[in-house]
Amino acid sequence: MLRIDNLTHVYPNGTRALDAVTLEVPRGMFGLLGPNGAGKSSLMRCIATLQIPTQGAIRFGDLDVLASPDVLRRTLGYLPQDFGVYPRVTALDMLDHLAVLKGFANGKERRETVDALLHQVNLWEVRKKALAGFSGGMRQRFGIAQALLGQPQLIIVDEPTAGLDPEERNRFLNLLAEIGENVVVILSTHIVEDVSDLCPSMAIIASGRIVKIGAPLQLIASMNGRVWRKTIAKDELGAHQRDHEVIATRLFGGRTVIHVLADANPGDGFEPMQGGLEDVYFSTLAGTRRQAA
């Protein structure tokens, strides 16, 4: 549905944010996972017609996005990573104004859409309050409401759950899950659970390159029998990092738990475990770092 071909973007200061990104995004929820600074937002901004890439092509269906951005904008919903709001404007007024900008000329139709969306994102009670006074979660829900205006075919949400509390995050993911399977939704995030909770397909981006594409379940299955766990003391970490391919270290109850990747049981007190998407993510990132070094 959405095809990205050999997309490269170099910022004026020489930063190569995207490096020959090629990606095919099907209908449904698509997760784009990557660490901070991997180029997620640059890619999102290019697809959202806000930035002209240095080279490459983006096609949505039959549409050449870079040649006719105006046409894409008619079916686009975009929630940027971080947006401020105008002071003194209420949620209702702002959403109504955005509805106008998205092409709702008919007043009655527009009001109905805006009201429905405000109900849907649970902001109906506070619709007459100023946006500037909203909490982070409320602001994000306003953000998704505006992205859903006008039944877009392509929805881009850029790190929508960063900074939300677990309850708000659930509420937000539920909203996303309701969007339906007939549109393309790109969810860019650095939070692995967002992707494993929602997305039937995904890609991992690191240092401006796509390093893994697939379905989360499939990717997890590919790690079957290769992830091993061990609880160690803090000062043993260095030695283990030298001897094994450590993909993740975390603290659990004050002790260090490490996950290593190995085709056979490394012995030495390691026990087998069922790897999750997080292990896929970390082992992929570890792989790219090794290649770079």
Partner 1 sequence: MFKSVAAFELRYQLKSPAFWVTFAIFLLLTFAATASDNVQIGSGGNVWKNSPYAIAQTLMVMTVFSVFILTAFVANVVVRDDETGFGPIIHSTRLSRFDYLFGRFTGAFLAGCLLFLSAPLGMIVGAAMPWLDPEVLGPFNLWHYVYVYLLLCVPTLFVTGAGFFAIATATRSMMWTYVGVIVFLVLYLVATGFLARPEFINTVALVDPFGLGAYDQATRYWTAAERNTQIPAFAGYILWNRALWVGVALALLGLAWAIYSRAATGSRMAAAKAPDQTDDDAPAVAARAAATPAVQAKPSGDAGWSQLWALTRFDMAAAVRSPAFIVLLGIGFVNSLASLWYADERYGNTIHPVTRIMIEALQGAFTIIPLIIAIYYAGELVWRDRDRRMHEIIDSTPAPDWAFVVPKILSISIVLFSTLAASVFAAIVVQLLKGYLDLEVGKYLAWYVAADDRERGAVRGARDLHADARVAQVLRLDADAAVRGRPDNLRSARLRAQSLPVRGQPRHTALRHERTG
- Exactly one of 57, 63, 85, 162 binds partner 1 (CB under 8 A); which one? 85
Q: Token pair for residue 105?
A: 């000329």
Q: Token pair for residue 83?
A: 């947006």
Strand locations in the chain, DSSP E?
2-10, 16-25, 28-33, 55-60, 63-64, 76-79, 154-158, 184-189, 201-206, 209-214, 227-232, 246-252, 255-261, 271-272
Applying CB under 8 A, does 48 fall inside the site for partner 1?
yes
- Exactly one of 36, 128, 167, 252 binds partner 1 (CB under 8 A); which one? 36
Q: Token pair for residue 73?
A: 């904008």
In Å, what is the CA distance from 210 to each residue of 7, 74, 261, 275?
11, 28, 21, 22
Q: Which residues have C-beta within 8 Å of that of residue 132, sequence separation ≥ 6?
A: 85, 86, 87, 88, 89
How many residues bind partner 1 (CB under 8 A)? The answer is 50
Applying CB under 8 A, does 64 fall inside the site for partner 1?
no
| Cα–Cα–Cα angle for 43, 203, 74, rounded to 5 degrees | 45
Applying CB under 8 A, does 34 fall inside the site for partner 1?
no
Applying CB under 8 A, does 29 fall inside the site for partner 1?
no
- Exactly one of 52, 177, 221, 239 binds partner 1 (CB under 8 A); which one? 52
Applying CB under 8 A, does 251 fall inside the site for partner 1?
no
Which of these segments, 72-80, 183-191, 196-204, 264-272, binds partner 1 (CB under 8 A)? 72-80
- Exactly one of 2, 45, 185, 270 binds partner 1 (CB under 8 A); which one? 45
Name 62's bridge partners.
none
Applying CB under 8 A, does 212 fall inside the site for partner 1?
no
Report the distance separating Cα 57 and Cα 4, nearest Å: 6
Q: Which of residues 104-143 bind partner 1 (CB under 8 A)?
A: 105, 143
Q: How far is the CB of 187 from partner 1 (least distance, A)?
A: 16
Q: How far is the CB of 265 from partner 1 (least distance, A)?
A: 25
Q: 60 near 72, Cβ under 8 Å?
A: yes
89/191 with CB nearer partner 1: 89
Q: How far is the CB of 26 from partner 1 (least distance, A)?
A: 22
List of residues contacting partner 1 (CB under 8 A): 11-13, 15-17, 36-39, 41-42, 45, 48-52, 69-70, 73-74, 76, 78-80, 82-89, 93, 97-98, 100-103, 105, 143, 146, 207, 238, 241, 289, 292-293
